[in-house]
Structures are given as C-alpha cells and as structure tokens.
Amino acid sequence: MAKYSVGDFVSETAQKDRGEGLFELENDYTLEVNLNGMVWSKLGSMVAYRGGIKFEREGMMEHGLGTFLKKAVTGEGAHLMKAVGNGKLYLSDEGKRISILNLQNQSIYVNGNDILAFEQGLGYEIKLMRRMTSMMAGGLFNIKLEGTGMAAITTYYKPLTLMVTPDSPVYTDPNATVAWSGSLYPELKTDITFKTLMGRSSGETFQMEFKGTGFVVVQPYEEVYYQMASSTH
C-alpha cells in the first residue's frame, strides 16, 4: 500500500470506542459524549453527532434568578446549550486542548469561557470576583461546578497546575487563569509599580492572588475575554 494513502488516513483518524464512560477524549481536541439523557455543553461547540440528539439553548431562567441577573448586569457568562437524547456527540472549541475532570463531591471554579461540557447532576453557579467590576468593564466571570459528575474544560496548549499552600500563595495573570479548586477565594491585586514602570496599562498590572490550600490551573496563553475599564474612556 502506498504511503499516506486514504486508507492510512482513515485508519489513523477514525473514531474509536474506548469504553471510558460518558465523556471520552477522541484526541486532545475532541470530546466524545456517550449521551443517554442530557448534558450541558458550550453553545456552538458541537462538531458532529450520531443518533437521536436534540439541542436546546439555555433558557433565561434555566439556572435560577441569580444567574439570570448576573448575566443581565454584566452581559457576559457561559452561553450553554442542552444536548438531549441518545447517541454520540462530538464537541470541540476552537482547537483548544480538552481535559476531563471527574468530580467526587467536590467543587471547582472555571473561567466561564473555558467550560466545554458538564453533567446535568453538577451544580452550576456564576460567580463574580470581588473588586473586579470597579477595575474592569463587565467584571470577570467564573463558573462554580459542585457535586459528583464529569466536566470537560479547555485550555490553549497544555495546562499547568500550581499547588497553593498557606505559606506559599500563588499569583496569576487573569488572562491565563483557567480554573482553581473550590476551597480557594482569590483576590484581585493591582501592581501599581509595574504599571508605572511600563508607562502604560498592561494585563500584568492586574493579578489574581490565591491564598489557602488548593490548586490553580493556568495556560501558556493570555486569553482576552474581558476589556479593561480604562480602555473605555
């Protein structure tokens, strides 16, 4: 057989059943959902499916009045859709790398732009960081997932997880911060010295400060998903 034949290509890229459960990684960038019921997924993330699956956009009051009001005030948040039915669903998000998390009565905060999919049984709540709205237009949205079930998150390239301990806090760039454990409550810091040194506004003048015990996930890429308040004037 000739090298690089169509048969080789099909064999190498063909969908494979691994028997891993509801969520499986077909590759680093494509999530397979073995659907029998309902899952939440990021709006627009469906690339293919087989079987009897229907899609419904998230209703305004789907996750309660509090979530609706936070979205209305900021104009941001995770835009979700329900995938309902029986079949195989394939999800991706702009070629970003996908990681699967199996929560066991645990909680995790995820950047609202980095949620790909999660099980119906997980609790879902929008969180706004304190002090953020006074510094940035719209604030910084995070999604808190809590309970037992599977979730899939996305990152640009391979993520790095840093452990946070009481004697060793971690500081991150908000644009590169993807997720952190539910035990942590980050604060926003302003690095006036750095801003003065550079002579202009820069993303690094805002930092997220993590204290306590837990972990924080960052990506080697600064994802711009908000606009600094100073740029609107």
E strands of 58-176, at which residues?
80-91, 97-111, 115-119, 123-128, 136-137, 141-155, 160-164, 170-172
CB-based contacts of 130: which residues, under 8 Å, 6+ apart? Answer: 187, 188
What does the pLDDT look like over 164-217, one tens digit per residue? 999 999 999 988 999 999 999 898 887 656 555 554 444 457 789 999 999 999
Q: Which residues pair with 80 in a beta bridge?
A: 42
**Sign, CA torsion 58/48/101/150:** positive
- pLDDT, greater one: 190 or 124: 124
Q: What is the pTM of this model?
A: 0.82
**CA 218 to chain CA mean position, Å:** 11
Q: Where do the domains of the chain lie, and which CATH numbers do they carry?
A: 19-226 (3.60.160.10)
